[in-house]
Amino acid sequence: MDVAGETHRRLVVVGHGPAGHRLVEALRERDAAGAWRITVIGEEVRPAYDRVALTSYLTEDAELAFPAHDPDVTLLTGDPVTAIDRAARTVVTASGAVIGYDTLVLATGSAPFVPPVQGKDLPGVFVYRTIDDLDALRDHCGARPGASGVVVGGGLLGLEAARAMQGLGVDTHVVEVAPWLMPRQLDEGGGQMLRRHIESLGLTVHSGTPMAGLEAGEDGAVGRVALSDGSAVEASVVVFSAGIRPRDELARGCGLEVGERGGIVVDDACRTSDPSVWAIGECALIGGQVYGLVGPCNSMAEVVADHLLAETTGVAGQAAFAGADTSTKLKLMGVDVASFGDPFASTDGALDITYTDPVAGVYKKLIVSDDARTLLGGVLVGDAEAYPTLRAYVGAALPGSPEQTLFGGVEPAGGDLPGATVICSCNNVTADHIRCAVRDESLTDVAGVKGCTKAGTSCGSCVPLVKKLLDAELVAAGIEVSKALCEHFEHSRAELFDIVRVTGITTFTRLITEHGRGRGCDICKPAVASILASLGNGHILEGEQATLQDTNDQFLANMQKNGTYSVVPRVPGGEITPEKLIVIGEVARDFGLYTKITGGQRIDLFGARVDQLPEIWRRLVEAGFESGHAYGKALRTVKSCVGSTWCRFGVQDSVGMAIRLELRYRGLRAPHKLKSAVSGCARECAEAQSKDFGVIATEKGWNLYLAGNGGMRPRHADLFAQDLNDETLLRYIDRFLMFYIRTADRLQRTASWLEALEGGIDYLREVIVEDSLGICAELDAAMDRHVAAYSDEWRDTIEDPEKLRRFVSFVNAPGVPDPSIAFEPERDQIKPVLLAGPELEVVSR
């Protein structure tokens, strides 16, 4: 109680690191009544900062400070607590201040472990813990450019320190006593692979070799590190990073129980042997363990905040520390390293599956239960893309076979993950946490979940999973997951398509005024542009339509990585005359373009600047070429084998049919790009079954396959109908394409569209063959209109001076080429060179 007789309770937090900071934040956020008066006493001169990001302070001058506490929190820095009087409930600081508490939380952290070797106190020997340590290290290295140095400890932090030291211009060696690097996270194979990566970056690794001692150099500072095998490494700087020891000296001094090997003993609510005293973070021994990761420290802070709140609200505190997921993923010197679950296969009967690619520097290992069904853990080095998904599956049934999982064919986990699955390991948020938050707080978007649970707010790798859980929960609650295209339209693409079709609206402005709100964005504008184009509203660059197009459609070419474009003339069926080949060759030569035959039987010309496109196309159009639409969500190519004309096995003219299909559907705008192929016999040389629509010749006609694709998630097409004659084949494809164009979502491939179609291929057959919806006449008419209205976009463009005006690099200097575009030779042709942007162009990074 304070003087005024109010019922404030006094909380003193000793230590202002990440754990202490998190506790204060959590308490302040939830203590709406302001029942707690908080005093935080820090040893360092600075308030709490993000220790996890220490290296970025050294290498990039990053600002590490956490957001300051609100003014109601009293923060004393640079004045360490020297004693605790538990009977009087006071703490005493170095400056002599005596501060009383009702509740005391020790968040004193840990200190780097420095083994008791000879020479450990020589000048030039550092630890890697605080900003002051780093400043001292930087000053020392700065005065010794090109010198060599040693990091003692090849664990996570040791390697961080090594990277930082190398960045300071020091020739860096890492000495690790274990046989491989990161022995606490990685198995031997992973550790060895990591070593290869690290050594390729110019560091030297000595593993399995304990250090014997440090020797002074001529200047009295450290000069050499002696190893136990008798060898030595020259080192004018040494950093110890060989583990941590809990800072429990204050607790010892006041008689609190501490562990045999250090650490303040606490129960699963983080309470010490004195009920008024709590301990959190790296100084706490909880469940017999001391944790050195930020995730568990945050969890402990949240647990204590919960109990402290309970004390003032009268509701009993429930929170308990439930152990911690010690999974880690990091990018160490550009190398992905991840370890999750039980990476050492300590479970009985555990099996492991290992994949090693020494050339690519990839090592992957999964640990599974003895029946190979349950994922127990794993190690990933060199490629950790699958980490978030795999980590979420730890303890659960694998979604596929272990080898499928290992080779990356895993869809991200869905909303049905077990409740205890840790989704966000940075903040230790489980699936159930997220589900409860969504239900209790009526959350409807990812931002809300982040704000409420902190999931996804640190490294962000779990955000896709968070989204899936959220959506599943909304669906379960009967809340419709919004199909809105974006913030400007409530409608799905299919609904908008119908609105445009039925109302006859031909402009974006009218559509958004009457059926949406605001002015549109990069999501709805191209979608509407595609709808307008599918319904035949003239040239895509005409009038307002020009403003809706993605850059590819805007310049009728495909944007490549340096801002140049590729030019792809249509070559129907892949059949081309020598004269036309020569024209392509001449154009490529005259404009200095890189030339490549594509997978779709086209010739791609790369490296054209915006201002070169009209002249290139003038030459191509004159020679009889048309736009290949390689830029649009439109029909790309119809691939073909040589067919019965040339092939001794061919049973039909596949080239003739491919040309016929390509010319019929050229320029057809769709929700996603479309590809097709025609094979002249069952040998399937054109790979028609991996296409949106594929045709395979039979003795009696054509077999039609629908909704396959290559791409990230390949899908074989389904057999739709057999032995069709030419006219029926075309009609079925017409109807399929038009039905897809009308009803698919934005950027949805035919494959996922069919998968989402209730009733699947059978339903599609009812619609297309039996006309169950009574729309076939309409679909046919729509396709006939498209075929009749086709006109080559590039011919129309080069004939229109108004459209051509936009094909300049600079509006104030139309003749000047873009100086940022540069190339260098490779294999007798050119490749793009990205010029780093001038520093001033980007305000901050």
**Residue 29 or 802 with smaller CB distance to other proteins:** 802
Q: How far is CA 533 from CA 219, 538, 568, 633, in A?
A: 78, 7, 20, 10
**What's the Cα-to-Cα distance from 413 to each of 132, 393, 445, 598, rounded to whole Å?**
43, 8, 18, 34
- Which residue lies nearer to other proteins by CB, 257 or 550? 550
- Of 269, 265, 267, nearest in space to 248 by CA: 265
Pair 650, 644: CB distance under 8 Å: yes
Tokens at 652, concatenated: 């039909």
8 binds other proteins (CB under 8 A): no
CB of 553 to other proteins, least distance (A): 10
CA-to-CA dists, residue 206 to 122, 223, 242, 379, 382, angstroms: 22, 18, 14, 22, 21
Looking at the Cβ atoms of 476 and 835, the one nearer to other proteins is 835
Spatial separation of the C-alpha atoms in residues 238 and 120, rounded to whole Å = 9
| Piece of the chain touching other proteins by CB under 8 A; list 37-45, 496-504, 549-557, 631-639 | 549-557
Q: Name the one range near other proteins by CB under 8 A: 222-230, 333-341, 665-673, 802-810.
A: 802-810
Q: Name the residue with tokens 């020091």.
A: 170
Question: Is residue 462 left, alpha or beta, with left meaning phi > 0 and alpha meaning psi from -120 to 50?
Answer: alpha
Instruction: Return d(Cα 57, Cα 61) in angstroms, integer.
Output: 4
Minimum CB separation of residue 95 from other proteins in Å reads 38
Which of 487, 799 has the CB closer to other proteins? 487
Q: How far is the CB of 555 from other proteins (least distance, A)?
A: 8
Give the chain's end-to-end CA distance (angstroms, integer).
Answer: 48
Strand order in the sheet with 603-608: 558-559, 565-567, 603-608, 594-597
> Using CB under 8 A, which of 530, 534, 537, 554 touches other proteins?
554
Taking residue 404's Cβ as centre, other Cβ atoms within 10 Å add up to 12
Q: Write b or e for each residue in 365-402: b if 16 or more Cβ atoms lie within 10 A of its Cβ, otherwise e.
A: bbbbbeeeebbbbbbbbbbbebbbbbbbbbbbebbeeb
Cβ proximity to other proteins, 38 vs 485, nearer residue:
485
Region from 380-388, 612-620, 677-685, 816-824 binding other proteins, contact rule CB under 8 A: 816-824
Burial 517-536 (b: 16+ CB within 10 A, else e): eeebeeebbbbbbbbbbbbe
Residue 836, interface with other proteins (CB under 8 A)?
yes
Please pick, from the candidates 499, 576, 818, 829, the single residue that binds other proteins as defined by CB under 8 A.
818
Query: Minimum CB separation from other proteins for residue 525, in Å?
Result: 5
Site string for other proteins, 504-543 (x = CB under 8 A): -----x--------xxxxxxxxx-----------------
Tell the smallest beta-carbon distance from residue 160 to other proteins (Å).
21
Q: Is 239 or 548 the residue whose CB approaches other proteins more closely? A: 548
Between 18 and 520, whose beta carbon lies closer to other proteins?
A: 520
Amino acid making up residue 610 = V
Out of 321, 555, 693, 807, name the contact with other proteins by CB under 8 A: 555
Size of the site for other proteins (CB under 8 A): 47
User: Following CA atoms 617, 622, 625, 630 in sequence, which dihedral angle do they give, to the nearest 10 degrees?
Assistant: 10
Q: Which parts are annotated binding residues?
A: 641, 647, 681, 685
Indicate the Cα dihedral angle 440, 445, 447, 450, nearest 10°.
40
Q: What is the Cα–Cα distance from 324 to 259, expressed in whole angstroms?
A: 19
5, 288, 819, 825: which one binds other proteins (CB under 8 A): 819
Residue reference for tokens 């009308």 = 742
8: number of Cβ within 10 Å: 15
The amino acid occupying position 328 is T
Residue 842 interacting with other proteins (CB under 8 A): yes
Residue 771 is a binding residue for other proteins (CB under 8 A) = no
Instruction: Indicate which single residue of 200, 228, 547, 791 sits in contact with other proteins (rule: CB under 8 A).
Output: 547
Report, in Å, the least distance between residue 802 CB and other proteins. 10
Q: Residue 797, interface with other proteins (CB under 8 A)? A: no
From the list 553-561, 571-579, 633-641, 704-712, the region that binds other proteins by CB under 8 A is: 553-561
- Based on the shown chain and the rule CB under 8 A, indicate whether residue 359 belongs to the binding site for other proteins: no
Q: How much is the CA Rg of the chain, to the nearest whole Å?
A: 33
Is residue 482 near other proteins by the rule CB under 8 A? no
Among the listed ranges 280-288, 774-782, 785-793, 829-837, the one in contact with other proteins (CB under 8 A) is 829-837
In the bound complex, what is the minimum distance in angstroms from residue 272's beta carbon to other proteins?
A: 39
| Residue numbers belonging to the annotated binding site for [4Fe-4S] cluster | 641, 647, 681, 685
Comparison of 11 and 462: residue with beta carbon closer to other proteins: 462
| Out of 532, 533, 548, 616, the residue judged to bind other proteins by CB under 8 A | 548
| Residues 609/817, Cβ–Cβ less than 8 Å | yes
Contact between 820 and other proteins (CB under 8 A)? yes
The pair of three-digit structure tokens given for residue 607, joined into one six-digit string? 């490296």
The site string for other proteins over 483-502 (x = CB under 8 A, - otherwise) reads ----xx--------------
Q: How far is the CB of 837 from other proteins (least distance, A)?
A: 4
**CA separation for the pair 544, 553 (Å, rounded):** 13
Could you give the CA distance from residue 293 to residue 282 in angstroms, rounded to a whole number?
8
CB of residue 496 vs other proteins: minimum separation in angstroms?
16
Cβ 563 to other proteins, closest distance in Å? Answer: 4
Binding residue ranges for siroheme: 685
List residues binding other proteins (CB under 8 A): 487-488, 509, 518-526, 544, 546-551, 554-555, 559, 561-563, 805-806, 809-813, 816, 818-820, 834-838, 840-845
